[in-house]
Structure 1
Amino acid sequence: MTPVAIPVAVTAASWDAALEETLSCAAERAFADGTRAAALSAGTPAHVHSVHRRVVNVLIDDVLVALASLDIDDAPATVRVPVEDWRRLGVTQDSPVDVSVDRIVLAADGHDVVVSLTGARAWTAPASDLERLGVDELTAALAVLEGFRASEPVTPFGHAAQELLVTRTAQLRRELLHGDGRVVQAAANSLIGLGEGLTPSGDDILTGLVFLAAQPGALLSRRLPSLAAAIRDGRTSTGLLSHVTLSHAAEGRARQSLHELAGSLVSGDLDRMRSVASAILEIGHTSGADILTGIRLALDVERSLRASRSAATTPPTESRIPLD
């Protein structure tokens, strides 16, 4: 008698509420197509994209969904699951995935890994309204974040790219303040795919920048169409994971820690900002530091835009001529 494979079953702790439509559509399609074998013969619309220790990325149609360990915070298109090492579960790249509205099933080595969504907390990316921020608040936030810098690159390519990153980031700052949409788009595009890492440093800088620009009340939002166009055009210049992260950021959605940083900016809680920035700094080897570089860039440009607006709307002081 052939032994029956016992599935590994885990229950998600939380998941991005925006995934509900993606999972529902995929489940309806799977029901219409029939069995997993039929899905495989049709080209596997849902399959494992990549496997890492703490994350399995699943491609559902054209949506990249991360099944992430609990030590990773909530994020767009992410399901947080109590699994410490995905590689030990026998999940491999290109394995088929079955999707329903309440679970995701990954075909592993001789068994299935069933991720149940029933009872999981639904996460929604919180927006932070920057409308009331003044120049002084932005200056104070910049002073706090100055202490969170990147460590040295770890590869020869990283070292070679470092000078270009500095030069192109400075160029992007100038264009954000003084250039038109076309040159802003070109300057942003020059950063995409530049640097080392699964998400290159240039992409991470842009992630921090566009995330803050996409928050309500940001004057920098006037540059968002050009930045979003650069991200769309740069799709082939970087990896899928990095492109997806950038696309979410351009919609004002990022990891929960970035939302907490934006919240501390609005509330003026600088101690909280330091604590959250320390947590962001731990993302990857350089990703967190590069994201913070992008946030500093956004804050710096936002401060300049607000100072210019204030100067333009302040009436000139009347000169008083003494009467004899």
Structure 2
Amino acid sequence: MRFAKSGDDDFIQQINHHKFHGFVHSTFNRTLNIQCLDSGDLYTIACKGIDNAPNTLIIDLEDFEEADIRVNDLVSSDHSVLSITNKMSITIEGIKNWTCILPEYPSVADVLEMNLSTMKQYIKLHGNNSRIERAFKSGNPFDDEMSRMLHERTQLLVSELQNKRMATAIIHAASLIGLGPGLTPAGDDFLVGLFTVFNIENHQYFSHHSFCEEVVLHAKALTNDISYMALAKAAAGQVRETIIDLMEALFRGSEEELICSLRRVLAIGSTSGTDIALGIIAGLEMNM
């Protein structure tokens, strides 16, 4: 029996009420993704040290290397226990409930302006070579063209949003979905960051956060299941804990607190964290 240490409140409620039925969608060294048979949504079981996130349970395990859990293994809940066939049982008794709550936009933006400038400089020095920030010339024609498209399309999207041309902004945003290599493509990651900002109360684009939902309507057929779920959740203002911490540090934190939070975001994936951070910067600069 494994013990869940913390988890998303909605996921916990499903397990508590014996309503979760699904199968293993994908397996990685420190995470498992489970697809719910009822909704089709993905849920994640993550090892300790990984941050809280929507649809996620954190359990007391270092990794899944010896668990022998495989794609299509059946998953169900009964009496506060989530079971993966006969290979693993996870109890949620004593679990710490987690809920994503984004901070409000500050009424005075002095701290934000300083922190945003610091964040941009830090990313220039320590970011993970995002193709979004500028077009690279690697010598590989395919990579160079993808880099050019990412840079160009994000710039077009930001321009349309700044001019409140939402219909064409949706078209440009959709053109980013699935663009870039990796499990969560760079274009998707940028949009996750942008969607986060659009769901911040008192941000001038909060009234346009339905834009995010419109973009997600295009996403299902354009990217993979895991990246789609990240986009769908971010469109509803649901993002992982490290991103929430970064937003709080940007709005009200010291430079030291900002850098600490930013480092954790930049550590997500190979370039995903940097691309998410650039989406956050783009969204915040629209308000300034």
Q: What TM-score, normalized by structure 2, do the two folds share?
A: 0.89
Taking a change above 3 Å as real, the CA distance of residues 152 and 261 of structure 1, as seen in their structure-2 partners, is closer
2:254 counterpart of 1:269: yes
Q: Distance in 2 between matches of 1:269 and 1:189?
A: 36
Equivalent in the alignment of 1:164: 149
Equivalent in the alignment of 1:58: 34
The answer to whether the 8 Å contact 1:176/1:223 transfers is no
Equivalent in the alignment of 1:144: 118
Q: For structure 2, which runs of at least 5 residues remain unmatched after alignment?
A: 132-137
Q: Which residues in structure 2 correspond to 1:121-270 (within 5 Å)?
A: 121-134=96-109, 136-146=110-120, 147-148=122-123, 149-151=127-129, 158-270=143-255
Q: What SS does structure 2 have at the residue aligned with 1:190? A: helix
Taking a change above 3 Å as real, the CA distance of residues 59 and 297 of structure 1, as seen in their structure-2 partners, is same
Taking a change above 3 Å as real, the CA distance of residues 152 and 253 of structure 1, as seen in their structure-2 partners, is closer
Percent of aligned positions that are identical: 25
Q: 2:66 aligns with which of 63, 88, 93?
A: 88
Q: Distance in 1 between matches of 2:34 and 2:53?
A: 15
How well do the aligned residues superpose, as a CA RMSD in angstroms?
A: 2.1
Taking a change above 3 Å as real, the CA distance of residues 18 and 101 of structure 1, as seen in their structure-2 partners, is farther
Q: For structure 1, which runs of at least 5 residues remain unmatched after alignment?
A: 1-8, 31-44, 304-324
Q: Distance in 2 between matches of 1:252 and 1:24?
A: 24
Q: What SS does structure 2 have at the residue aligned with 1:262? A: helix
Counterpart amino acid of residue 93 in structure 1: V
The answer to whether the 8 Å contact 2:16/2:80 transfers is no
1:179 Cα deviation from its structure 2 partner: 3.9
Q: What SS does structure 1 have at the residue aligned with 2:105? A: coil
1:141 Cα deviation from its structure 2 partner: 2.4
The answer to whether the 8 Å contact 2:102/2:200 transfers is yes
Q: How many residues align structurally? A: 275
Q: 1:293 aligns with which of 269, 278, 284?
A: 278
Counterpart amino acid of residue 139 in structure 1: E
Taking a change above 3 Å as real, the CA distance of residues 105 and 296 of structure 1, as seen in their structure-2 partners, is same
Q: Which residues in structure 2 correspond to 1:68-107 (within 5 Å)?
A: 68-100=46-78, 102-107=80-85
Q: Distance in 1 between matches of 2:116 and 2:59?
A: 35
1:64 Cα deviation from its structure 2 partner: 0.9
Q: What TM-score, normalized by structure 1, do the two folds share?
A: 0.79
The answer to whether the 8 Å contact 1:20/1:101 transfers is no
The answer to whether the 8 Å contact 1:50/1:56 transfers is yes
Runs of 4+ aligned structure 1 residues displaced above 3 Å come to: 20-25, 152-160
Q: Distance in 2 between matches of 1:189 and 1:260?
A: 28
The higher radius of gyration belongs to: 1
Q: Distance in 2 between matches of 1:216 and 1:155?
A: 44
